[in-house]
Structure 1
Amino acid sequence: MAIGSVKSRVRSFFRPGLAKRRRSSNTSSECEHKKIKNELMAPAQTDAINNAAVGIDGVGLDMQLASPFFRNLPIEIRRMIYNLVWTGPYDHKYHAGRGRHIHFQNGHWINARCVMYEDDEDLDLLQKNMDSMHSSGKGDLVMWQRRLASTWGCRHWRCEERMQYERRKSVDHTDFMSMMLVCKRMFPEVVESIFESHQFLFNDFFSAHRFFVYNPSPYIPYMRHLDLSLNLPFHEYAPFVIDAPKSRVRELWKALERISCLHTLRISLDIYDRGAWRKIPERGVTEQLRNLKVLKDFTLELPPSLPIKADIPNMHNLDAQGEEPFTVVRRPPLRYWQFTPGQVERFTWDTHTKGQQSHCFITLAREARNVPNPYLLDFF
């Protein structure tokens, strides 16, 4: 069914006569019609409707009892109609047909369509392209290095570039606002349908914390699909190293526990202020995630498992063999990085053993030198 015909049918429920009629200045007939309708209704039914029609602020709410849309169609059919309205012309083009990136900018919320392709699900796609450029000597490795270091994650680098540069506004178009402004009776059903039918993607911790913790919406429990890509500074992970009870990340995990009907959840964790050396307190940060209720697919994406020994228990790698309620996916180890400004170098990981201690180094491909772990003291 075409979207235009669906919208026209929805309008027809609220305006049976599509021809515009000028409202008469004499309101006596309207008052008489309301009087007759109230007399025909049972007193108990009238009291129940009047009580339901009064909002929290005392403002009357029209229950739209004369509308065939609400009177004749059950809520299940109305939700099916809303779901058809959200169908867009670009849904077939991108991997997440109804994925919406949500972020807080300049004092207001912005939502943009996710333009990730199916090939972007390959977590090593960026470095594979860099491999071909490195072998051929053609291509801009600095540009691909910027994408590799993106705080939006290796899956949504196209979405980040689209937000940074000029983009086609028509791709982001939705009918959210027009549907929410139809009437007060329809508003909560429309918002619930939006939360149920779309995948919400957050790529910065500030927006996610503000949305779920600082100023949460009462419709958050209706959310069904959520994707969090959180590249946090190390001070946000520090409370998990020492088991500190107070943490903004813990507040976010606690807020997610209130979503009792999540169908799919993907959480990608990374750290962006340690360059090629990336290690987070996996056991501590994932302990609270076991309390989340996800019906179908729960995926936890973690940094690569580097051969770095850590004496602190919470800094140990998460045991993939354990009985976890989520699927652990690790990104492949980095093999390209920009150690010198303007120059991207290929490297390999090397482990040197001396006595009973093993230390991990970065071995550059072009030069016969090793780059030691600059944060070695943090883990020993």
Structure 2
Amino acid sequence: MKTRPIIAVTCGEPAGIGPEISIRAAWELREQVRSVLVGDAALLSMIAGDIDPAIRLTALSTMALEHGGLPDLGPDRIAVIDCPLAEPAVPGRLDPRNGHAVLQTLDVAIEGAMRRRFDAIVTAPLQKSTINDAGVPFTGHTEYLAEKTGTPQVVMMLAGGEPLLRVALATTHLPLKDVSAAITFDSLMTTIEIVHADLRRKFGLAQPRILVTGLNPHAGEGGYLGREEIDVITPVLQSAQAAGIAVSGPYPADTLFQPKYLQDADCVLAMYHDQGLPVLKHASFGRGVNITLGLPIIRTSVDHGTALDLAAAGIGQADHGSMVVAIQVAAQMARAAAAP
């Protein structure tokens, strides 16, 4: 592993806080990480000057990735892969004419990571509507990354807090009425296998310990409050245990998130979005990290949105703490993945 891992940072929605927090975090971590910003070079240069005239950016064309790698500019400059906007960005004001340029930043980062030009990708928040209004069907970062890398199933995990809490999700953005049908033996088994494999490969945990929640209150209470635990979740856990995975449960979600249980766990697998993430975000909001498991590349992201209102209010209103942690976690994962 290189002394400073090379991390592609896509700057997200140009009218939001993504460009500012990306610059601030990359500059703050420049001694530890070679962050490569991916976005409109002219916009980023202007914002960098407003943040601190000492910040130095060097614009490179996308062709820089075609010739064996990026120049090492040293810790006093940040490289920018230029993906020009169609129209000047106005803070707080969405413009669908820039949707294709936003999507290009993802394409550049993904291609670079797949070709091992980058050790990891970190994504600033984007506005899905901008890309859809530009005429490109787009449901989100995670789905786009899965499609572009040919990954049939990915797992969303958030991490943060002190001590560190990792929460993975068996289902993500579904109406609550659809969650039960989405939890099948095969899908849950694959999710556990992905979590186990990436905790080993990308986090360096030799035998990760995974705690699994039930779906229903009190984990079904022996079938009186639902049978998903009996019919699906427990059989999956038994099969995973037989395969050598250190997984246990299902546990009632309302009592699982306590130090006496979490101190013996490397990750909690929750059955749906609002079962696991409120606890995680309470413990770490503003410093949490979104991690996509199952990809052939490393990808992390911030735990918040584009914050158009803060962008409209001017430079200095946004907190870049989550972006700092997202880059740090991506670098740690890159080092772990490169370890023999």
Bigger radius of gyration = 1
**TM-score, normalised via structure 2 length:** 0.26
Which one has a larger percent helix, Structure 1 or Structure 2?
A: 2
**TM-score, normalised via structure 1 length:** 0.24
